[in-house]
Structure 1
Amino acid sequence: MFKTIHVIVAPSSYLEDPLKYRRHRLAEYLLSQDTAQEIIWISPETHSFFNSNLNILKEIKLNCDILQIKIGDYKSLVRNIEWFQNSLIHFIHEKHEEQVNYYLWYTYPAFSALSQLKIWKSVIYDCSDMWVEAEKTNHFLQNFIKRQLIRRTERRIVSSANYCFASSLTLQNRLLYKRISTTLIENGVDYSKFQVVDKIDINFNKKPTLGFVGGLKPWKIDFDLLVKVFKVKHDWQLVLVGSTYGQMGQAYQKLQKLDNVKIIPTVPYDEIPSMVATFDIGILPYIENNYNEGVFPLKFFEYLAGGLPIVGCGLPSTNNYIEDGVYEHVKSETELFIAACERALNSKSEENKSRRLALAKQADWVKKFEKMWGIVNGSK
């Protein structure tokens, strides 16, 4: 039986992300297969135009199974223009071995020239974000050019891919405009990790706790809504667990000053279940915008695996899970959000908790990736 090498194209280096994203779990699953020999993790590394590392590859052996490749980039030019990707193509050619099956996994639309190589047993695009709406700056022209480059790169990848997957209905429908077949596989959960946990004592004033775990990104999270809610609800407390990104803005600064708000920097992934166990409600306070239309949050099934009711907004891709005592999705308005949270606080029956756990158990990551790998290998 031939060994397999999986090449994963990602937006950032393997160890750079403060959170464990879908792409990391995919890598772990692929490495767990008997035939797996190595993961080659390829990501751009932003530099200034005059930096000598532009378009230069850095090889970093993270462990015996994962080789990290960083490619010097400037304003997304190298990752989106194939002419600049020759050094990467040469590197992959040099790495190529006979009697090894090579799979190319795009978890981010970049380095489309790779998809044209003839060495791949399969090319796969696993779309988990509305990338064309991400990473915006304050410069209109720069945003416009970047969006066009990302669109073109994604289009080339989709046209070359043997298989396409999407993490939300919105992303699936968007890809279906570009190709006949895209399979929906929503984000999952490491279910067993949430079943036996030691609580961390973060309930600093014993009030009902609304919690959020994830990246505190100002283009995703509705900090204005949270300020309004927790100014009104002095008898509740908010716990935010995660790293900040970019310019956080005035709403976040106001939120930091509230007495009933606690913000905890990113914690190791293994401690997340213990954090979730201290919450009374898991919240998903997302801004209603184009980017979030494609989001299916990683923490959705993590909250359910912790037995929590969920209240969210700005996430149309989660509407299929709306259910009394499980999940409520409302408009991003203070009164509606408060009312939904009050209903969630009153939904603590064992019957409701059992239903939440059952939904989470069905969404275990292993089941998700078994389906994906089965499709790629032709066994499903």
Structure 2
Amino acid sequence: MGLVSMGHAVHVYCVDNSDAPVARQENRDGVIYHISKSAKGKSLFGTINHPVTSLNRIFDDFQQCDIVHVFQPFLSVYLPWKFNFRKKARITFFDWDDLWVDAERDREKKNFKAGWDYKLKGYFERKIPSISKHMTVCSKLLKTLAIERGAKQVDIVPNGFWEYDVPAKAVAREKLGLQKDAVYVGFMGRTGFELHWAFKAFEISLSKGANIRFALCGPTADIMDGLSDQVKNNLDYLGSLTPADTRYFAAAIDLGLLPLMKTDFNESRFPIKFAEYLAANLPVLCSEVGEVNEYGKKYPWVIKAGVSEEDWIKHFESTVQLLAEGKLVPVNREVVLNDLSWEGISKQVERIYLEAAEV
């Protein structure tokens, strides 16, 4: 959208994850989406590395373009680029925004589908940098790995947010059914490997008399299995929210939580919830892990919470005390917008493209 607003034509070629009957085009805010059908057999192969889907995409009608930006190390991306799309583009960029192989989510390969995905992701994570003149990544770790694997030019592009008018806290709480006068800590997002850190810290604070509640959206309900009655009685679980309603969620709470274990996966990524918290002028309690820590070092409204569960629990307790006393540093919206607005990031991407075109 940002590139479109600057006068560029943007087309996205992707695969439908559902069993849609026909390929189709959609115009979403000026971006033209070309959506291909996925082949049968997704229960065996999934979508992103499905061999038939990937082969079919070679014959998609890709348009001539100046820049093709290939996203993610998947078979359904690599084959159509290699045998079709790259012939129609002046310059190719590859994007890599997670360390897929050996990440927590991929360690238990319990069936053929998981093992198939694991092998192909691993192959393309090594193959793509070795053939790349231009790459974009979201972290210093991925930049280092990409260069080690042969990439020539690598730029770090963060995740961000679109500026919007933040709803008043009272309005947001009424919309979501949250208690209007309570002090809320909150977590949103589907990647919750370390969410048990937050629950444990919350329970300890409650046992010491803290008058707080915990708002939660994103994870499935089974994330609450095994929680004590004390935690459940002070927890507002909102399930899965629409992107629009997550803005109300961030506006409704008083402190955003981002616990991160020190793993290669977390070091490699830029959790989008970090930007979404800050977009709502929300202070964040954040582990000192990965690319978000580079911003945490310079933002006083990001409270640093170490790298371990023990660190997290200690810093949670002290931060809740500061929150109750009204002593947390407010977010400087202008600084955050300058660093993390999609408008500014789009200008960065445009500059990267133009510099590549001049070489």
| Common fold: TM-score over 0.5 | yes
Partner residue in 1 for 2:56: 87
Do the aligned partners of residues 318 and 84 (structure 1) sit closer, same or farther apart at CA in structure 2, a change above 3 Å counting? closer
Contact 1:223 1:252 in 2 (8 A): no
Taking the aligned partners of 1:37 and 1:295, their CA distance within structure 2 comes to: 25
Do the aligned partners of residues 335 and 299 (structure 1) sit closer, same or farther apart at CA in structure 2, a change above 3 Å counting? closer
Taking the aligned partners of 1:328 and 1:204, their CA distance within structure 2 comes to: 28
Do the aligned partners of residues 78 and 206 (structure 1) sit closer, same or farther apart at CA in structure 2, a change above 3 Å counting? closer
Asked whether 1:239 is paired with 2:215, we answer: yes
Q: CA deviation at 1:213?
A: 2.0
Q: CA deviation at 1:231?
A: 2.0
Do the aligned partners of residues 324 and 255 (structure 1) sit closer, same or farther apart at CA in structure 2, a change above 3 Å counting? farther
Q: How many residues align?
A: 332
Do the aligned partners of residues 377 and 70 (structure 1) sit closer, same or farther apart at CA in structure 2, a change above 3 Å counting? farther
Taking the aligned partners of 1:188 and 1:240, their CA distance within structure 2 comes to: 21
Contact 2:138 2:270 in 1 (8 A): yes
Partner residue in 1 for 2:285: 311
Q: CA deviation at 1:148?
A: 3.0
Do the aligned partners of residues 38 and 360 (structure 1) sit closer, same or farther apart at CA in structure 2, a change above 3 Å counting? closer
Partner residue in 1 for 2:250: 276
Asked whether 1:355 is paired with 2:332, we answer: yes
Taking the aligned partners of 1:236 and 1:282, their CA distance within structure 2 comes to: 13
Taking only aligned residues, the RMSD between alpha carbons, in angstroms, comes to 3.5
Partner residue in 2 for 1:22: none
Q: CA deviation at 1:162?
A: 4.0
1:266-296 superposed Cα distances (whole Å, 9 cap, x missing partner): 3232233322122111110234433222221
Q: CA deviation at 1:310?
A: 1.0
Contact 1:226 1:255 in 2 (8 A): no
Asked whether 1:123 is paired with 2:92, we answer: yes
Taking the aligned partners of 2:325 and 2:155, their CA distance within structure 1 comes to: 34
The one-letter code sitting in structure 2 at the alignment partner of 1:106 is V
The one-letter code sitting in structure 2 at the alignment partner of 1:159 is S
Q: Note the residue ranges of structure 1 that are not aligned, 5 or more in a row.
A: 1-27, 46-52
Identify the match of residue 13 of structure 2 among 40, 48, 53.
40
Partner residue in 2 for 1:136: 106
The SS at the match of 2:172 is coil
Q: CA deviation at 1:58?
A: 4.8
The one-letter code sitting in structure 2 at the alignment partner of 1:231 is E
The SS at the match of 1:341 is helix
Asked whether 1:68 is paired with 2:38, we answer: no
Contact 1:302 1:360 in 2 (8 A): no
Q: CA deviation at 1:185?
A: 1.3
Q: CA deviation at 1:255?
A: 6.7
Identify the match of residue 326 of structure 1 among 294, 302, 322.
302
Residues 1-380 of structure 1 aligned to structure 2 (within 5 Å): 28-36=1-9, 38-42=11-15, 58-63=22-27, 65-72=32-39, 73=42, 75-76=44-45, 79-80=48-49, 85-91=54-60, 95-96=61-62, 100-101=64-65, 103-110=67-74, 111=76, 112-116=78-82, 117=84, 118-132=87-101, 133=103, 135-136=105-106, 138-139=108-109, 146-178=117-149, 179-194=151-166, 198-201=171-174, 202-204=177-179, 206-215=181-190, 217=191, 220-234=192-206, 235-244=211-220, 248=222, 252-254=225-227, 258-313=232-287, 315-320=289-294, 321-322=296-297, 323-330=299-306, 331-333=308-310, 335-342=313-320, 344-345=322-323, 348=326, 352-355=329-332, 357-378=334-355
Displaced runs of 4 or more, over 4 A: 73-84, 140-145, 195-198, 346-350
Q: CA deviation at 1:109?
A: 1.3
Give percent identity, aligned residues only.
17
Higher deviation after alignment, 323-332 or 232-241: 323-332
Do the aligned partners of residues 85 and 358 (structure 1) sit closer, same or farther apart at CA in structure 2, a change above 3 Å counting? closer
Q: CA deviation at 1:303?
A: 1.9
1:16-46 superposed Cα distances (whole Å, 9 cap, x missing partner): xxxxxxxxxxxx334445342643223566x
The one-letter code sitting in structure 1 at the alignment partner of 2:144 is N
1:237-280 superposed Cα distances (whole Å, 9 cap, x missing partner): 111122439xx56x655279611111112323223332212211
Contact 1:292 1:314 in 2 (8 A): no
Contact 1:191 1:361 in 2 (8 A): no
Contact 2:98 2:269 in 1 (8 A): yes
Contact 1:223 1:255 in 2 (8 A): no
Q: Note the residue ranges of structure 2 that are not aligned, 5 or more in a row.
A: none
Q: CA deviation at 1:188?
A: 1.3
The one-letter code sitting in structure 1 at the alignment partner of 2:233 is D
Higher deviation after alignment, 151-160 or 166-175: 151-160
1:142-169 superposed Cα distances (whole Å, 9 cap, x missing partner): 5565433212123333334442111122
Contact 1:319 1:329 in 2 (8 A): no
1:30-75 superposed Cα distances (whole Å, 9 cap, x missing partner): 4445342643223566xxxxxxx9xx99513334832212323465
Taking the aligned partners of 1:361 and 1:296, their CA distance within structure 2 comes to: 17
1:151-193 superposed Cα distances (whole Å, 9 cap, x missing partner): 2123333334442111122222222212232111111121334
The one-letter code sitting in structure 2 at the alignment partner of 1:279 is I
Q: CA deviation at 1:195?
A: 7.4
More helix by proportion, 1 or 2? 2
Do the aligned partners of residues 348 and 304 (structure 1) sit closer, same or farther apart at CA in structure 2, a change above 3 Å counting? farther
